[in-house]
Amino acid sequence: MKNCGYTYFKRDISWLSFNYRVLLEAKDERLPIYERIKFLSIYSSNLEEFYKIRVSGYHSSLLESIKRDESVEEALQTIIEINREVTAQEKEYYAIFNERILPELRRNGIILYQTDAVEPFHRTYVEKYFNEEVFPYLQPMIILKDDIHSFIQDGRIYQVVSLLKKKRKKPADSSSYTYAIMKIPYTRLPRFVELPSCGGNHYILFIDDLIKANMPSVFPGYEIVDCYSIKISRDADFSLENEDQKDIAERILRKVRRRKIGAVTRFQYDRDMPDYFLKYLCEAYEIEEEELLPSGRYLNLADLMKLPNPVGDSLRQTLPQPLRVPELEANNSVLRVLRRQDLLLHFPYQSFDYLLRFLLQAAFDPKVLEIKVTQYRVAENSAVINSLISAAKNGKRVTVFVELKARFDEENNYLSSELMQQAGVKIIYSLPGLKVHAKLAYVRKRSNDPDDPIKGYAYLGTGNFNEKTARIYSDKGLLTSNKEIIRDIDEVFRVLEGKPYMHDFKHLLVTQFNMLPAIHQMIEQEIAHVEQGREGYIILKMNSLEDKGMIDALYRASEAGVKIDLIIRGICCLVPNQPYSRNIRVTRIVDAYLEHARVWYFLSGGKETTYLTSADWMARNLHRRIEVAFPVYAEPLKRQIIDILKIQLEDNQSAVWVDEQLNNVFKRELASPDELPVRAQQAIYDYLKKSTGQ
C-alpha cells in the first residue's frame, strides 16, 4: 500500500505483531509462573476477538465480492496471510505452554495433566466425579453429513468422536465409522478439576481430559477410535453507525443476540486430527479451507486465567497498593480541593476511589444542581452507576449519555441504562453515525459567591468509568474547575444532547469540530521550528496509529527533521527505519498493567504543549467518533506527564522497538552492560511515590 511513495503496515498484520508481543511475556522467566500463564490467557482472548471482528470483515468482503463477480484476491490474500502468521504463533504458543510452563509448574509441585490416562491413585476419584458431576450435562449427538445436525455454538469447545460398533460384521475402516459431537459443559462446571494431592504434589486435570477418560461410558456398544477438540469462532461484528435514534436500543439488542449464530470465521481443531476425520467434519459443517486453523490439544486457553493456584501468592505477581493523593487525603471534600487547584490522577498507581468519591460527594451535596456523564464501558454492578442513581434520587438533574454501540458491552450498557432510567436519570442513547468515546463527567453546583453563582467541576479521562479495569489499565484523569475548560465541556454536552451550540471550542479539541486541524497545526509548527534552525520534537503515546493522513503528516515532519517518539502499544501502521521515517522511533511496552493512556506532547518552541485524550489516531476515532483531547495547564501536572513519558522512553526491560519488519526487538537485549535497568511501570510508581512524599 503506497501514497506519495510512503508505505504502511497492514493494520491487522501489525495487530498480530502486538499480540505476539503479549505472547512473549509468557516466555519471560523473570516473571512469576502465574503471571506468565496470565499472558497466555490474554493472548488467546485477544485472538478470539480478532477473529470475531476483524477476520469476519474479510470473510464478508469475500462473500460480497463473489456476489458482485469482483476480484476476491485482496481479501483472500489477507486471510491467508493472517492464518499463516497465526498458525506460526500458535505453534510457539504450545511450545511455550508444553516446554516452559508445564515444567515450571511441576517444579513448584503443580502437575497439570496432559493426558486422559490419570495416575492409578486418581482413577476412582475421576470416575466418581465424572458420574456425579459431569455425565448429567453431556448431550452427545450423531453427525450425519446429509442430514440435519447440531449447531456448533460460537466460542464453545466440542469434542468430536469417531466410533466403531463393537459387534460389527465388516472389517473396520473409516467408511464404517460413526461420528458424534458433544459440547464440553464447562459453563456449568469448572474447566480445571483439582484432584487429591499426593506425595506433596498438587494435581489438576482439564475437564476435556476427564471426559475423555470416561468416554466409553458415554458410548456403550462402541469402540472409541479417535477423539479431538474443535471450536468455531463466528462473526460478531455488526454496524449501526448510520442508524437514527428511533428504537436504537431494541435494534442493537436484536443484533447482539444474533452474534451467536454469525458466519464462521475460524474453525480450530487439534492438529493431530487425521485427515479422514477433518474431511468428514468440513463436509458436514460446510467449513471452507480458509476457515481452518490447526491448533493444539486444548482450545479456549483464555481459560488459563482460571487455572487453580494451590500454592498461593508466591507464584503470582503482587501489584503494589495504590498511592494516596495527599491533597485529597488532607481534605475530604474533592470539590473544595478543586476550587483551589487542578488534580491529575494516574491509574492504577493511584486509587480510582478518588473519582468515585468525586461523584458520590456530588450526589449528596445539597448545592449540586446537575451531573452529566458519558458512559462507554462500565463495570457490572458499577459504583459509578450507583452514585448517579443516588444523585437522581437526591433530586439532582442527572443526564447520562450511553453509548450502546460499545462493542461487546452493548447489553451491559443497556441494562445499566434501564436501572438509571428507573431512578429518574435522563438517558440519551447513541448519536446517529457516530460513537461517543469521550470520557467526561460534569458537575454544576450553586455557589455562595454572588458574582459567580454557578460553579462547574469536571473530570476528563483517557479511560472508562470502570472501577474494575482501572485496577489493571494504566490511564490518566484530570479533575478541574477551570472555567474555560468547563465552558467547553458544557458545549460538548450540548452537542450530545442535540441542543443549539456555538462549537467554538477554545481549549478542548473535539473530533468533528477542531481536533484534526489543531493536530495538523501543531505538527506544522514543529516543522517550522526546525526550518528556523530550532529543535522540533513530538512524543505521541497511543494504543493505535492507523490513520494514513496522520501517518503522512508524521512522515513529512520526519523528512523535515522533527524528532518523533511514538509509544504505541497495539496497531502501528507507520513503518520505521525508512528514508522518510528516519527520525521516528516506535516503542511498544507490555507489562503488568495495560498501557491505555493517550498522551500528545509537542515541544512547541520550548513552551511544551501536552494533551490527554481518549482518542487513538485511527480512522474510526478521528472521523466516526466524538472524542475529546484536553490540555493540562498546571505546570506541576504538566511536568508529571512529561517526566512519565520520558521514563517510558527509557524503559529497557519491558519495552521493545518495533522495526521495519514488525519485529519486537527487546531493548534489554541491546542495552550496554553498564546501563541501569529501567522498568517503566515500576519506575513510574516510584516516581509518583517520591513526588507525593510517600
Q: Which residues are catalytic?
A: 437
Identify the DSSP state of 190: -
β 625-626/222-234 pair status:
unpaired
Which strand (E) or helix (H) includes residue 266? strand 264-270
23 within 8 A of 93, measured Cβ to Cβ: yes
**Hey, what amino acid is at 562?**
V
DSSP output for 68-107:
TT---HHHHHHHHHHHHHHHHHHHHHHHHIIIIIHHHHHH
305 within 8 A of 44, measured Cβ to Cβ: no
Distance CA 313, CA 336 (A): 40
Which residue has 444474533 as its cell numbers? Answer: 258
Distance CA 419, CA 441 (A): 19
Distance CA 40, CA 304 (A): 7
Distance CA 260, CA 234 (A): 7
**Hey, what amino acid is at 319?**
L
DSSP output for 195-230:
EEEETTEEEEEEHHHHHHHTHHHHSTTEEEEEEEEE
Take residue 408 and report the three cell numbers written for it. 461487546
33 within 8 A of 101, measured Cβ to Cβ: yes
The partner residues of 617 in beta bridges, in order of sequence, read 545
* Angle at alpha carbon of residue 309, lines to 106 and 124, rounded to 5°: 75
Identify the DSSP state of 85: H
134 within 8 A of 334, measured Cβ to Cβ: no
Identify the DSSP state of 588: E
Number of Cβ within a 10 Å radius of residue 358: 26
Q: Is the dihedral of CA 8, 10, 12, 15 positive or negative?
A: negative
Take residue 166 and report the three cell numbers written for it. 463393537
Helix boundaries (H) for 224-272: 248-258
Number of Cβ within a 10 Å radius of residue 679: 20
Identify the DSSP state of 320: P
